[in-house]
């Protein structure tokens, strides 16, 4: 079979991003016309976290061909996350403690599950998802340990709670994380899965892509007091300058296959994680700034991701 032409690959890529944009727009319109309230997004997100996300991760981990190269992905995610968090901590040191907390947390961690998974699945299929999920393993450490720990420290309201115990409890009770461990265990020990059970899980997993894209539209908002815009774009500037610089450096230097390097570059420019909003609410930070960082970063990442796929011809042949 002849290789797909560059034009055909770009048409496929544009179709994936274009259809995603339309579905996101539908979600936004559903919220705008009051068919769905913004507060409903939390319930939908919680539903996805307990159904389609774990199902998608389990089936992907079940099929992945494990190799030593995959181990570098969570390590790179953690090292980059530590670096960006530290830079944010230093860069925003003169800010009010509460603002410093939200801006530092916004400097690190990515949104894979509620942003990247459906796009990566559409362009790169199971292979791309495998790389993304392994990267997300390291990202979980950044989002649930580094960011939460940093936010708790800067909020100064630890009380009598043990923040380390609380953070570890958050990680190990997260359904997608549990699904990842179970899927890897089934894969490593070559354990059989009942055909009926696998069919049910795969059917649930297929619902992840449209539901996540609709949820992105429901969440999207750019309303923010003018005074806070400068702070938001300082965080975004830090994220994207650092992400693109290190991402391009790795893309051209690491001795891994093309698709592997694609995923590294893509993952390093993804938007801020949704946990930023949750943590801001819990720690009494400015949730408006948190939401703006998340929403603007989703828009910027969508554009950069689309551009990078075109420039580097990342769509598979």
pLDDT digits 0-9 by tens, 243-289:
999 999 999 999 999 999 999 999 999 999 888 887 887 788 887 78
How many CB atoms are located within 10 Å of the residue 257 CB?
9
In this predicted structure, the answer to whether residue 309 has a pLDDT above a threshold of 70 is: yes
State pTM to two decimals.
0.82
79-118 pLDDT, tens digit each? 999 999 999 999 999 988 778 999 999 999 999 887 888 8
- Is there a contact between 103 and 95 (Cβ–Cβ < 8 Å)? yes
State what percent of residues in the chain have pLDDT above 70: 91
Tell me 126's DSSP state. H
Q: In angstroms, rounded to a whole number, what is the distance separating the alpha carbons of residues 164 and 166?
A: 5
d(CA 62, CA 282): 35
Query: Which range has the top average pLDDT, 11-20, 106-115, 163-172?
Result: 106-115
Per 3-state DSSP, the chain is made up of helix, strand and coil in percentages (nearest 5) of 80, 0, 20
| Closest listed residue to residue 219, CA positions, set 118, 123, 141, 290 | 290
């Amino acid at each position: 079979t002849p290789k797909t032409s560059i034009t055909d690959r770009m048409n496929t890529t544009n179709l994936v991003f274009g259809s995603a944009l339309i579905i996101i727009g539908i979600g936004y319109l559903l919220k705008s016309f009051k068919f769905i309230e913004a507060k409903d997004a939390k319930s939908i997100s919680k539903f996805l976290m307990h159904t389609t996300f774990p199902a998608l991760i389990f089936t992907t981990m079940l099929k992945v061909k494990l190799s030593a190269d995959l181990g570098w992905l969570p390590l790179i995610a953690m090292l980059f996350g530590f670096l960006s968090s530290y830079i944010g901590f230093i860069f925003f040191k003169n800010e009010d403690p509460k603002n410093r907390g939200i801006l530092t947390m916004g400097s690190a961690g990515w949104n894979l599950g509620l942003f990247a998974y459906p796009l990566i699945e559409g362009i790169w299929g199971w292979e791309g998802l495998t790389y993304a999920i392994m990267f997300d393993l390291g990202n979980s450490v950044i989002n649930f340990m580094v960011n939460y720990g940093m936010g708790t420290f800067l909020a100064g309201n630890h009380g009598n709670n043990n923040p380390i115990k609380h953070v570890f409890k958050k990680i190990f009770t997260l359904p997608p994380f549990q699904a990842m461990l179970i899927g890897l265990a089934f894969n490593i020990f070559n354990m059989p899965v009942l055909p009926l059970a696998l069919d049910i899980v795969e059917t649930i997993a297929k619902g992840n892509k449209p539901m996540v894209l609709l949820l992105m539209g429901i969440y999207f908002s750019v309303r923010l007091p003018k005074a806070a815009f400068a702070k938001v774009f300082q965080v975004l500037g830090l994220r994207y300058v650092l992400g693109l610089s290190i991402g391009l450096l790795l893309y051209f230097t690491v001795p891994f296959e093309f698709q592997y390097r694609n995923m590294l570059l893509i993952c390093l420019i993804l938007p801020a994680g949704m946990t930023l909003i949750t943590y801001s609410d819990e720690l009494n930070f400015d949730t408006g700034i948190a939401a703006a960082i998340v929403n603007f970063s989703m828009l910027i990442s969508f554009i950069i991701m689309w551009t990078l796929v075109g420039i580097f011809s990342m769509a598979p042949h």
